[in-house]
Amino acid sequence: MSDPKKHIRPEVRAIDGYHLTAYDCPVKLNQNESPFDVPDELKDVILEKVRAQAWSRYPEPMPSDLVDAVASFVGVQPEQVLVANGSNSIVQHTLNAIVSKRVRVAIPSPSFSLYGQFTEILGGDPVYVPLTNRYGYDIDALTQASTSGVSAVIICSPNNPTGCDISNEALEDLLSATNAIVIIDEAYAEFSDHTALDLLADHS
């Protein structure tokens, strides 16, 4: 029998896997998990809604009630909301629409490792932009990278793992300087005092 791995694209075989170490600790910031369980009362409500569904049918492709609730909560229009199984899926779907062979994506470093892995799996080239020596975003270097033939820039704000964020003023300057798509991952938004949502009306 031939080796089935030969049918896997070489650039995919060359990528290190995404590894998560299981730690027994009360607080897990690396996966953005709450140390507090969901209250039993809320679990009961969720389970009742699950029981009320027709299990013999696929669920609604885009759950309109959830979309409307999210839109209302964050203050945007429902057509601006896409829900998925976690932010990793959103990032992957977004890059699927942008990245192909040799397409360049600017990514601060260190940052969330899946940005680079998703880019490489799609045949693209990550352009890593080092943080400053105080582990903050180097806005000048990011701006230079964003105007040097990249198709997208991904910024995690606050950053995983360093915690730095990008101000809306700096983000405005970056948006004004580049023609690339700028993706802001705010999975840790609750740890910041501002959000890029305030810029969405002028840049979408």
Q: Which residues pair with 104 in a beta bridge?
A: 125
pLDDT value of residue 133: 94
Of 160, 162, 157, give the one whose Cα is nearest residue 199. Answer: 157
Instruction: Judge whether 156 and 185 are in contact, CB under 8 Å.
Output: yes
Mean pLDDT along residues 124-152: 96
> In this predicted model, which residue has the larger pLDDT, 135 or 11?
135
> In this predicted model, which residue has the larger pLDDT, 60 or 17?
60
Q: Domain 85-202: give its CATH code.
A: 3.40.640.10
Q: What residue spans of the chain are helical by DSSP H?
A: 10-13, 40-52, 64-74, 87-98, 114-121, 139-146, 168-177
Angle (nearest 5°) at CA 173 between 167 and 179: 125
pTM of the model: 0.88
User: Any idea which of 20-24, 59-63, 145-149, 159-163 has the lowest mean pLDDT?
Assistant: 20-24
Mean pLDDT along residues 119-136: 96
Is a pLDDT exceeding 90 seen at residue 44? yes
Q: Which runs of E-coded beta strand occur in 57-103?
A: none
Compute the residue count for the chain. 204
Mean pLDDT along residues 170-191: 95
| Both structure tokens of 175 | 């948006």
- Domain boundaries in the chain? 85-202
User: Any idea which of 14-28, 34-48, 186-200 has the lowest mean pLDDT?
Assistant: 14-28
pLDDT value of residue 1: 62
